[in-house]
Structures are given as C-alpha cells and as structure tokens.
Amino acid sequence: MTSFLNVDCSVTGRRWVGPTIEVDRLSEAIEQATALPAPVCRTLARRGVEPHEADGFLNPTLREMLPDPRSMLDMDRAAARFIQALDRNERIAVFGDYDVDGGSSAALLIVWLRTMGRNATLYIPDRIDEGYGPNDEAMAQLAANHDLIICVDCGTLSHGPIAAAKGADVVVLDHHLGSETLPDCVAVVNPNRQDETGELAHLCAAGVVFLMLVEVNRLLREKGVQGPNLMGFLDLVALATVADVAPLIGVNRAFVRQGLKVMANRDRIGLTALADVAGMDNAPTSYHLGFLLGPRVNAGGRIGQADIGAKLLATNDPREAQVLAEQLDQLNRDRREIESAVREEAMAQAEARGLDAPLVWAAEDGWHPGVVGIVASRMKEATNRPAIVIGFDGDIGKGSGRSVAGIDLGASIQKLAMEGLLIKGGGHKMAAGLTVARDKLEPAMERLAELLAKQGADKIGPADLRLDGVLMPGAATVELVNQIEQAGPFGASASAPRFAFPDMQIHFAKRVGANHLKITFGDGLGARIDGIAFGAFDGPMGPMLEQHNGKRFHLAGKLDINIWQGRQSVQLRLEDAAPAHD
C-alpha cells in the first residue's frame, strides 16, 4: 500500500495511510446524493454509512435507536424488584464502582429516586483499602440496614460478597465480562453475560441503568404513575459512555449526542460546577467529557475520597457542588504529578524488558494504585502493545491493564485468575484489573504474554496514522467543522476525522506550558490556521517544528473550534508532521 503523501516515516515514526478505495468510492456516492462537503462525506464513508442513510445518521434520534430494555436477560426481574421496593418504601442502597461510569450509574439511581421523593444510601468502595467491586464486609453491613442493594458497574463476578448480603435482596446492573456462573441474587442485568446475545455489549453500566429506568418508567405508567423525565438524565449517561471509552456505535451514539445537548443547558448543578472549575467556556463536546470532566470525576476514586465524584454528580445543593468540584480539580492536579513520576519509571522498566514483546509491563513497590491504569494507557499508546502496570504494597500487587484493538485482554486476565496465577482479575476487551501475589508476578506476566501472543499481540507493528484526506487552510472553516461534528460524536470505535495539510509554511511556533507547542501555519496563499500540539516536547515533533528554519511540512491532526473572547476560529489539534520534500 502506498503511503499517504509519501510519508513512510513521520516525525513520530509513523506511516501515513489514506482512505481505502472503497471509502473513496462510497464518499463520492454520498457527495453526489447529498451535496454535503467532501470532508463530511469522507467521515460518513469511513463509518460505513450508505448514501440513503446519511440524513438519519447525521440526525440520530433516541426514539429510533433505543433498544427494548426487556431484550436483556433479567431486566424484567430487576425492574419489578425496584418497583416493589418503591411500593413498600423499602430501604435501598446503591453500591457503585469508584470510576466515572460507577459514579454516573449511582447518580442516575439516586437522582431518579430523589425525584420520586425517596432517598438511597450511596456506597463507593475505597480503591486502596477495599479494591474494585463488592466485598464481604461492606455487603454484610449494607444488608443489615437495607432491604435492597443495587450494585452498579460491578457485581457480576462477586459471588461471595453477594452471598454475604444476608437478609437483603441484590440486583446487579453491570457491563463487565461475566463468567459461566452468576452470583445468586434477584437479577444480573449485563449485556456481557456469557448467555447474552452480545448485541448490546457496547453499553457501559450507566447505559444499562438508564435502560432499567426506562423499563421502570414504563411499568409505572401502566399503574397510572408518572416517573421522572429520563431525557434530562442523558448528560450522566453521555459522560459515563465517553469516560469509560465505550464504543460510540448504536444507541451509545444517540446517548452521547442527546446527552451533550442536555449538558449544554447547565441544569445539573454538579456538572456545571465542574465545567466551570475546568475552564470550559464553550458548548460541551465528547472531547470535553473524555479529557476535562471525566478525569476530574475520576480523581476522587484514584487518589482521594472514593465517593466525591458520585456525590458531585448526584447533588442538588449549589454550595456542596462548588466545594466538591474544587476538591476534584485539586485532586486531579495532584493525580497528574503522581502519574508523571510513575509513568517515567514504568516506561524505563518496560524499555529494559523490550517494547516488541506481546505484553509491555512494569511493577514496583509504592506505585499509587489510583494511577496505574492511566500509566498503562500511556504505555499502550506509546508502544501499540497491551500494557500492564502494577503497584505493590507488601506482598500484594494491584494492577491495571489496557489493550489495543483486536486483542482481548479481559478474557486473558480472567483465564489467569482461573488458573490460580492471580488472586483475582477481570474486565473487558480493552481494559482489565488484577491482584497478584509477589511470588506469582513473573509467572503470571509470562503466562499473560503467552496468551496475548496467541491472539497476535507480538505481530503488531507501529500504529499507522490513518488520514481521511487532504485539506487546505482556506477550506477549514467554522461551518465545515460544525458540519463534521454532525457526523459525531467521536471517541472509541468512532475516531474523529484526521486531515493532512500538505506543504505548509510555519509562520509562528512557540512552546507553551511545560511541553506543548502552539503554531500558526498557512499555504502561502493568505489563509492561516492556528494549531496546538499537546505534549509535543515529550518527543521530537516539538523541537523540530519550533526550530523549523523556514522549512515546509505536511501537518496532520483533527479540527476543532477555539473560542477566544467570544470569537470562534478553527484550530488544528496537531498530532503528527513530516518534512515536505520538493
């Protein structure tokens, strides 16, 4: 395959790959049928949208895309038990995971119940002291004081802790990979149960909770009771979907599109306070959810008090919202410092072992368990290999892993746990968690590398940079960017289109912050665009472009809109560059 713009090795060491012939043909067909701009047509074509589907794709409605909640196993039992708890005025506890998905899922239930005049107890386990998911002691304590415990974003593998909840009923609303047997409880609603069809496997836990509330509202209507308007809950579902890196396909796409509109209304006090401390000054996009709001909500569970994020999302008190948002913002700054130190040490370890192995991994005493997942993600991005990072406290290590497309890490981790090499472990294809004894570390990582190699993890080369075509500065207008956004939202399994600006002249280049690069470039015909390259000075791109000496470059990245003092302008989020040879 010929490289795009003849870039076989860019500044970051990647080959540039353009659209396939099939995408080009489909793009032309869409353009002829719709008269949409070519960059929009290319974006649709890459998603496999046929010409007659273009209008519906650009304007998705939740009504058309929402699946029947009852298509999921145990949904009828979960909804019926929930309504029974309402009818009997029972005491309800919500046990959630400590990440964004868990916090959003818990907040959905708490806010729904509050709207109906009911309260619920929130319980989020401490990441360090209790680890992921239900534990015997917490479940037994909750059962002593509650009639119904709802586990969200956890519980599918928690056979023992659920059995410990004596005297209370338990409902699980989850999306993590299930084993062959399920815990003994009222219901396990999980699209990733072994006996599910897999058609809704892309849902995050908040999506599962939302669908249960849809079913609950339907059952209430049959009884002549009006439940809360669920459209107003979609901001929480959107946040969880993007932050949990759930694929933006099917109903997830409608969840996020509609959720962003809800969020733009600034009605949820907690999210509004968080957006303000994060410096968001324009309408939210999936980028804001994934990179500004999500990390802050996560910060409490990572290095602070585990339930701060869920409390913020559920609160209806403006003063509490402000205090919690500021706490999370500070915790996120602290988290970044801790992460930076761990990442440096982990990469050095991984490099010493070799970055071309089927698994890159690192483990050390004292690494904060709250940042190992982020560091694993950074290592995965840097090496294009599945990555595991483990922090030890005494003889027990808690770790997190991230995978690459086509390699199922969760299933392999689960197999290791069944073989006795891990104390426990689980997750899904792209992310997993594990607990390992020090004396089993080396054999566990060897066995995991072996399992991943069988899936082809050792055959993956450097990630190509996939481009959707060429664009010139004069064509990159605010109107075009808005039209491209209509083909979104963009995220997991639906990456934003990436364009190459060929043979560009750099008019201005300056280092900003610790390691970012700000540039202005043009084609020499008058039109100019600003660009920002985050982390450019962590690699060779920053120094090369800053000291360009008049040389011209091909530049590649994604377009967004920058708002400064009320004025909108197009900005390129610069990801790669290559010298433009005459």
pLDDT score, position 479: 95
Percent of the chain with pLDDT over 90: 86
Tell me what pLDDT residue 525 has. 86
Q: What is the DSSP string of 321-360?
A: HHHHHHHHHHHHHHHHHHHHHHHHHHHHHHHHH-TTSS-E
> Residue 400: is its pLDDT beyond 80?
yes
Q: Is 342 among the domain residues?
A: no
How many structural domains does the chain have?
A: 3
- Specify whether the backbone of 550 is left (phi greater than 0), alpha (psi in -120 to 50) or beta: left
pLDDT of 361: 97
Domain span at 13: 4-19+468-579
What is the average per-residue pLDDT within 18-31? 96
What's the CATH number where 407 sits? 3.10.310.30
CA distance 484 to 478: 10
Please give the pLDDT value at position 1: 62
Comparing 502 with 405, the larger pLDDT belongs to: 502
Q: Report how far residue 513's alpha carbon sits from residue 510's, in angstroms, rounded to the nearest whole number.
A: 10
How far apart CA 91 and CA 523 sit, in angstroms, is 66
Average pLDDT over every residue of 59-79: 95
Q: What is the mean pLDDT of residues 389-403?
A: 95
Residue range 518-542: average pLDDT? Answer: 93
| pTM: predicted TM-score of the whole model, two decimal places | 0.88
Distances (CA, A) of 193 to 21, 177, 457, 529: 38, 6, 25, 49
Give backbone dihedrals phi and psi of 177, rounded to 5 degrees, phi first: -55, 130
Task: Establish if 343 belongs to a structural domain.
Answer: no
Q: Are residues 445 and 491 in the same domain?
A: no
Give the CATH number of the domain where residue 512 resides: 2.40.50.460
Residue 565 has pLDDT above 80, yes or no: no
For 285-340, what is each residue's pLDDT tens digit? 998 999 999 999 999 998 889 999 999 999 999 999 999 999 999 999 999 999 99
| Model confidence at 77: pLDDT above 90 | yes
**Residue 90 to residue 222: CA distance in whole angstroms:** 21
Is residue 337, in this structure, part of any structural domain at all? no
Q: Are residues 441 and 561 both part of a single domain?
A: no
Same domain for 188 and 86?
yes
The single-letter code of the amino acid at 107 is: A
Q: In this structure, is residue 163 part of a structural domain?
A: yes
- Three-state DSSP state, 218: helix
Judgement on whether residues 450 and 508 belong to the same structural domain of the protein? no
Residue 514 has pLDDT above 90, yes or no: no
Please tell me whether residues 161 and 303 are part of one structural domain.
Answer: yes
What does the pLDDT average to over 93-112? 97
Average confidence (pLDDT) over 248-257:
94
404 shares a domain with 485: no
Q: With respect to residue 81, please indicate whether it lies within any of the assigned structural domains.
A: yes
Looking at the predicted structure, is the pLDDT value of residue 214 above 70?
yes
pLDDT at 582 over 60: no
pLDDT tens figures, 439-466: 999 999 999 999 999 999 988 877 789 9
**Stretch 241-245: mean pLDDT:** 93
Q: Which residue type is seen at 355?
A: L
Q: Same domain for 143 and 243? A: yes
- Judged by average pLDDT, the poorest of 59-73, 188-202, 244-258, 562-576 is 562-576
**pLDDT digits over 186-207, tens only?**
999 999 999 999 999 999 999 9
Are 493 and 570 within one domain?
yes
On whether both 11 and 155 belong to a single domain, the answer is no
How much is the mean pLDDT over the chain?
94
Last residue of a domain, one of 429, 459, 489: 459
Query: What's the pLDDT tens digit per position in 142-190?
Result: 999 999 999 999 999 999 999 999 999 999 999 998 989 999 999 999 9
Say what the pLDDT of residue 135 is.
Answer: 97
259 and 279 housed in the same domain: yes
Is 318 found in the same domain as 372? Answer: no
pLDDT at position 442, please? 97
